[in-house]
Amino acid sequence: MIQQSLFGEVDDRPRMVNVASVPQRSPFRYPGGKTWFVPRLRDWLRHQPYRPALLVEPFTGGGIVSLTVAFEQLADRVLMIELDEDVAAVWQSIQDGEADWLAERILAFEMSLENVTDTLAQEPTSTRERAFRTILRNRTLHGGILAPGSRFIKRGESGKGIGSRWYPTTLAKRLRDIDQIREHLRFEQGDALAVLEHYRDDPNVVFFIDPPYTAGGKKAGQRLYRHFELDHQTLFERCAQLKGDFIMTYDHAEEVKALARQYGFVAKPIPMKNTHHAPMTELVIGRNLDWMVDIRSIADQPARYGLAPRALSHALENNH
């Protein structure tokens, strides 16, 4: 909102985070990554009544949230969950002590379209080989998108072509840095909803939940991720049952706001920029977002389209 003052207009809208000011810790270029959310993550965890014993990230992806929490010791331990077998191979390899091997493999790789094509055509014979191929694909495919149908970078950054996002020294350092704090991290390849159910009754566990953006038929998650199908109604149900605190980040969609209202959650819009640097907003959802003092809660009317009948009927009943 822009308000008038004696000295002219004062813009009191929340500022977008300069992602360059956030430590870049992940080896991934991850579509839908949450680097821009890191300052808010710190605020949330520091407003907890006690230091969390465990932070669970059920949709880990590029892992910037889990890594930030581990590096900055914002919780005692971190549990990373990821279903995609290729992404999982990277985190599993690091957990298995293979970060230095990956770093050396990256430093030794000679970047060219021919070498990339030949390497990716080979079937991996180990988890660490699969992890290297995943990092290579992530760094040479357009937008870092690993979903089927993604294509190689053509022009790239400053016209550097397929190698424009391949920074071997930087990647090697990030992997070795993660290796130094891996005793605070645990990784499991698995299903997010099952993990939420497993830790449902533990009040000492907090959750950062960033699901694929497919609510209401949205296509972004389908385009970006291999495992994009998710029962959003069930996700909200599981969150309502958690004894520990949680926050969710979601696309700013009417269907999502209706689900938040249905379960009595608070939703606040937060400014960010997408992959193409266009300004947009996402939603932060939780039981109590008073720590986000600069952003007002959403009080829109419920959506009347796009939800499954069960979700829509509940959302409308709860608003009358």
Q: Looking at residue 266, what is its pLDDT?
A: 96
Each residue's pLDDT tens digit, 192-245: 999 999 999 999 999 999 998 765 555 454 444 444 568 899 999 999 999 999
Average pLDDT over the chain reads 82
- For residue 228, give Cα distances in angstroms to 36, 59, 125, 259, 265: 22, 11, 27, 19, 24
**What is the C-alpha separation between 185 and 77, in angstroms, rounded?**
6
Residue 22 has pLDDT above 90, yes or no: no
Q: Looking at residue 299, what is its pLDDT?
A: 54
Q: Looking at residue 273, what is its pLDDT?
A: 61
Residue 10 has pLDDT above 90, yes or no: no
Q: How far apart are the first and last CA of the chain?
A: 29
Q: For residue 176, count CB atoms less than 10 angstroms from its CB and return exposed for 0-12, middle for 13-18, buried for 19 or more.
A: middle
Residue 233: which residues within 8 A CB-CB, separation 6 or more? 259, 308, 310, 311
Each residue's pLDDT tens digit, 242-270: 999 999 999 888 899 999 999 999 999 98
**Residue range 27-55: mean pLDDT, rounded:** 90
Residue 201: which residues within 8 A CB-CB, separation 6 or more? 243
**Are the beta carbons of 21 and 36 closer than 8 angstroms?**
no
**What is the C-alpha separation between 88 and 115, in angstroms, rounded?**
24
- State the Cα torsion 255-257-263-267 to the nearest 10°: 160
Residue 307 has pLDDT above 50, yes or no: no
Q: Identify which of 256, 309, 316, 302 has the alpha carbon closest to the alpha carbon of residue 281.
A: 256
**DSSP string over 2-70:** EEEETTEEEE-SPPPP-GGGS----S---TT--GGGHHHHHHHHHTSSS--SEEEESS-TT-HHHHHHH
Q: In which residue are the tokens 């996402």 written?
A: 282
Q: Identify which of 255, 289, 246 has the alpha carbon closest to the alpha carbon of residue 269.
A: 289
Residue 135 has pLDDT above 80, yes or no: yes
Which position has the higher pLDDT, 200 or 15? 200
Q: Looking at residue 283, what is its pLDDT?
A: 93
Chain centroid offset of residue 214 CA: 14
Residue 42 has pLDDT above 70, yes or no: yes
